[in-house]
Amino acid sequence: MNSVFFRRLATLIVPVCLVSVFQTQVTQVQAQDKNAYSIVIHGGAGGDPGRWSAEYQQQRRESLGAALEVGIEMLEDGKSAIDVVEAVVRTMEDDPVFNAGRGCVLNEEGDHELDASIMDGATLRCGAVAAVTSAKHPVTLARKVMENTRHVLLMGSGADKFGKQIGVEQAPADWFVTDRKKASWKRWKAGQQDAMLHRPKNLGPGEEQLYLGTVGCVALDSQGNIAAATSTGGLMGKRWGRVGDSPIVGAGNYADNATCGVSGTGVGEEFIRIGVARDIAARMEYGGQSLEQAAAATVGKLPEDAGGVIAIDKHGNIATPFNTPGMSRAMANSSGLKSVALGREE
Q: How far is the CB of 73 from ligand ASP (least distance, A)?
A: 26
Q: Say if CB 131 and CB 240 are below 8 A apart.
A: no
- Which of the stretches 11-19, 28-36, 72-80, 262-270 binds ligand ASP when contact is defined by CB under 6 A? 262-270
Expressed in angstroms, the distance from the first to the final Cα of the chain is: 41
The pair phi, psi for residue 10, each rounded to 5°, is: -60, -40
Rounded Cα–Cα distance for residues 231 and 227 (Å): 14
Site for ligand ASP in 224-253 (CB under 6 A): 232, 234-235, 244-246, 252
Rounded Cα–Cα distance for residues 48 and 338 (Å): 23
Rounded Cα–Cα distance for residues 125 and 81 (Å): 13
Among 43, 237, 268, 300, which residue interacts with ligand ASP (rule: CB under 6 A)? 268
Closer residue to ligand ASP (CB): 45 or 87: 45
Closer residue to ligand ASP (CB): 265 or 333: 265
Total residues binding ligand ASP (CB under 6 A): 14
Contact string 184-223 vs ligand ASP (x = CB under 6 A)? ----------------------------x-x---------
Q: Beta strands 153-155 and 125-132: pairing type?
A: parallel
Q: How far is the CB of 175 from ligand ASP (least distance, A)?
A: 20
The pair phi, psi for residue 312, each rounded to 5°, is: -135, 135
Closer residue to ligand ASP (CB): 64 or 75: 64
96 binds ligand ASP (CB under 6 A): no
Q: How far is the CB of 116 from ligand ASP (least distance, A)?
A: 11
Closer residue to ligand ASP (CB): 225 or 232: 232
265 binds ligand ASP (CB under 6 A): yes
Q: How far is the CB of 265 from ligand ASP (least distance, A)?
A: 3
Q: How far is the CB of 36 from ligand ASP (least distance, A)?
A: 29
Q: How far is the CB of 307 from ligand ASP (least distance, A)?
A: 6
308 binds ligand ASP (CB under 6 A): no
* 214 a catalytic residue: yes
DSSP E strand stretches across the chain:
38-45, 114-120, 125-132, 153-155, 215-220, 226-232, 253-255, 260-266, 307-313, 318-319, 326-333, 338-343
Beta-bridge partner residues of 333? 38
One-character DSSP codes across 274-290: HTHHHHHHHHHHHH---
**In 10 A of CB 207, how many CB atoms?**
16
Angle at 198 (CA atoms; ends 300, 236), nearest 5 degrees: 150
- 8 CB contacts (<8 Å, ≥6 apart)? none
Which member of 24, 91, 214, 230 is catalytic? 214
Closer residue to ligand ASP (CB): 266 or 343: 266
Closer residue to ligand ASP (CB): 79 or 344: 344
Site for ligand ASP in 3-62 (CB under 6 A): 44
Q: Beta strands 153-155 and 215-220: pairing type?
A: unpaired
* Residues with catalytic function: 214
Catalog residues that contact ligand ASP under the rule CB under 6 A: 44, 212, 214, 232, 234-235, 244-246, 252, 265-268
